[in-house]
Amino acid sequence: EAPGTEQELTDGFHLVIDALKLNGINTIYNVPGIPITDLGRMAQAAGIRVISFRHEQNAGYAAGIAGYLTKKPGVCLTVSAPGFLNGLTALAHATTNCYPMILVSGSSEREIVDLQQGDYEEMDQLAIAKPLCKAAYRVLHAQDIGIGFARAIRAAVSGRPGGVYLDLPAKLFGQVMSADAGRKSLVKVIDAAPAQIPSPASVKRALDVLKSAKRPLIILGKGAAYAQADEEIKNFVEKSGVPFLPMSMAKGLLPDTHPQCAGAARSTVLKESEVVLLIGARLNWLLSHGKGKSWGEAPKKFIQVDIEPREMDSNVEIVAPVVGDIGSVVSAFNQAMGAGWTAPPAEWTKAISSKREENVAKMAPKLMNNKSPMDYHGALGVLKNVIKEYPEAILVNEGANTLDLARGVIDMYRPRKRLDVGTWGVMGIGMGQAIAAALETGHPVLAVEGDSAFGFSGMEVETICRYNLPICVVIFNNDGIYRGTDVNGANADPATTVFVKGARYDKMMEAFGGIGVNATSPDELKRAVNEAMKSGKPTLINAVIDPAAGSESGRIGNLNPQSVLQKK
């Protein structure tokens, strides 16, 4: 180049930021450090929201649920080896749950890592990430940043969504190239998640099977909620007249109070149904793999709608597989049904309604008790009314008893308002998911947390206060995991499942300037939550629950292996 002619330059830092912005990614969930601290600063300066957490796992859970809520990949940014590994659990979780997410991690010198010469935070991150996510890529040259991000975005959201790992070695960020060539190297991903239209034959086969059923059932899973085809799904369910059972995170896709909702008659519909249409729900452990005692004696026929062809016949035979995206499939159903659809026999729908009414009536008085210390039902009765009053609020929920009982008690009214532990039943999603939900939707968040569950991400209450988010955390404090009453007969150590008795989690929130409340009765709880929902101020309520109230593993105690030798 001739001396004196100044060429406009760009570098790896700026190309990463430009690639994100070009593709409409406006938020990064991160923990700063070498080599990505400046990337975070520059991204913030360029107008991207950079949310800094206290631990990468929580940033990762935030990114995953942001992906679920928005259908755009949530981005988590971490440092090398330990930061990467901290984020990796969340990436695996996103993949397991079909949430689109990209984990972007800085990494050490390739040459030194490959020769294993002991670099700062040395680790072959790409190799480690690969088996735990949907796709993993490394970018070595600044001119490939554009294509690297395009691949990552498309891999995360197309087909069955999932987690993608993107490895960015430290050296990449400082690499310089001409700004013009840099701009040209960027890729705007066109139609990142193309519609996948089902074959007309598969649609007809599915409707024929459904129509022929005397006792049909629709099961809605979180794939159906993710699809954002809310109107189409509602129209289809209502037009069909078929009872529906929402999986945990599909609650609210249609209101739990909808006359066709069979959520409160779960055992009955699983046992007695004859044809089951799965929409965005897998026949995994949560549905007892589609067989065995919970499915009863009556022979079943399964129809399944899913974007992933390999999901079909994964556990039992699927007589009518429909492969496509849920929006396209359900609108094809709606069109093909025409006007002449007859509702299922009243005998079936009435049997379900009466079972449902029976269960609801059985539960109602438990929800009204004003015991102190509280039991689960007394406290949940209050929270049920809060969500009824604020149906736009997002409910985040984890724990064992705290999870299982809240799922049953708290009715949901709108789609994608219930966010919980997902397919793995993982503790630790709480604060990350609450923070992302507040940021991505602008709605208030109510996080209902077991005291153990909360502990996995509790330090993020500082993050909640720092960003002044409208999050109300209610901790069901029963002094331990499942219960606070276990005793160790062998030595002076506490039993493995119990915590410090009478702990005051509310003080943690006060330490960072938020509002802390200790609530010992349903009345106190009600006052505190209502105040939090009204004020929108970061709030943590320590709800004192009877330590004897819970049961081992909540409703899944049957999954614990038993020892015949164990001395009781």
C-beta closer to ligand OXT: residue 428 or 522: 428
C-beta closer to ligand ADP: residue 106 or 223: 223
Dihedral-angle region of residue 553 (phi above 0 means left; psi in -120 to 50 means alpha; beta otherwise): left
The DSSP bridge partners found for residue 475 are: 449, 542
437/395 Cα distance (integer angstroms): 9
513/504 Cα distance (integer angstroms): 16
Asked if 503 touches ligand OXT (CB under 6 A), the answer is: no
- Token code pair at residue 410: 């708290």
- Please give the size of the binding site for Mg ion, defined by CB under 5 A: 3
When CB distances to ligand OXT are compared, the closest residue is 450
Of 450, 455, 470, 516, which one interacts with Mg ion (CB under 5 A)? 450
Stretch binding ligand OXT (CB under 6 A), from 183-191, 309-317, 399-407, 526-534 = 399-407
Burial 301-338 (b: 16+ CB within 10 A, else e): bbbbbbbeeebbeebeebebbbbbbbbbbbbbbbeebe
Residue 546 binding: pick among ligand ADP, Mg ion, ligand OXT, none (C-beta 5-8 Å cut-off by kind): none
Residue 375 binding: pick among ligand ADP, Mg ion, ligand OXT, none (C-beta 5-8 Å cut-off by kind): none
Residue 427 binding: pick among ligand ADP, ligand OXT, Mg ion, none (C-beta 5-8 Å cut-off by kind): ligand OXT
Q: What is the DSSP letter of 168?
A: E
C-beta closer to Mg ion: residue 432 or 450: 450
Asked if 451 touches Mg ion (CB under 5 A), the answer is: yes
C-beta closer to ligand OXT: residue 18 or 375: 375
- Token code pair at residue 100: 């689109």
| Residue 339 main-chain phi, psi, to 5 deg | -95, -20
412/422 Cα distance (integer angstroms): 17
Say if residues 379 and 525 touch (Cβ distance below 8 Å).
yes
Pairing of strands 539-544, 9-11: unpaired
Q: Which of 489, 505, 462 is nearest to 567 (CA)?
A: 489
Cβ–Cβ contacts within 10 Å for residue 39, how many? 23
Asked if 554 touches Mg ion (CB under 5 A), the answer is: no
Asked if 263 touches ligand OXT (CB under 6 A), the answer is: yes
Of 478, 521, 539, 542, which one interacts with Mg ion (CB under 5 A)? 478
Residue 423 binding: pick among ligand ADP, ligand OXT, Mg ion, none (C-beta 5-8 Å cut-off by kind): ligand ADP
The DSSP bridge partners found for residue 276 are: 217, 302
Helix (H) or strand (E) holding 401: helix 401-409
Residue 27 binding: pick among ligand ADP, ligand OXT, Mg ion, none (C-beta 5-8 Å cut-off by kind): none
Of 198, 252, 327, 428, which one interacts with ligand OXT (CB under 6 A)? 428
535/351 Cα distance (integer angstroms): 44
- Please report how close the Cβ of residue 454 comes to ligand ADP at its closest, in angstroms: 23
Stretch binding ligand OXT (CB under 6 A), from 123-131, 229-237, 264-272, 305-313 = 264-272
Q: Residue by residue, what is the 3-state secondary structure of 89-122?
A: HHHHHHHHHCCCEEEEEEECCHHHHHCCCCCCCC
| Residue 328 main-chain phi, psi, to 5 deg | -65, -40
C-beta closer to ligand ADP: residue 207 or 253: 253
Cβ–Cβ contacts within 10 Å for residue 160, how many? 16
Binding interface with ligand ADP (CB under 6 A): 97-98, 160-161, 221-223, 226-227, 247, 249-250, 280-282, 284, 286, 306-308, 311, 325-326, 423
C-beta closer to Mg ion: residue 422 or 450: 450
Which residues sit at the interface with ligand OXT, rule CB under 6 A? 248, 263-268, 286, 359-360, 363, 399-404, 407-408, 421, 425-428, 450-453, 476, 478, 481-482, 550, 553-556
Q: Which residues bind Mg ion (CB under 5 A)?
A: 450-451, 478
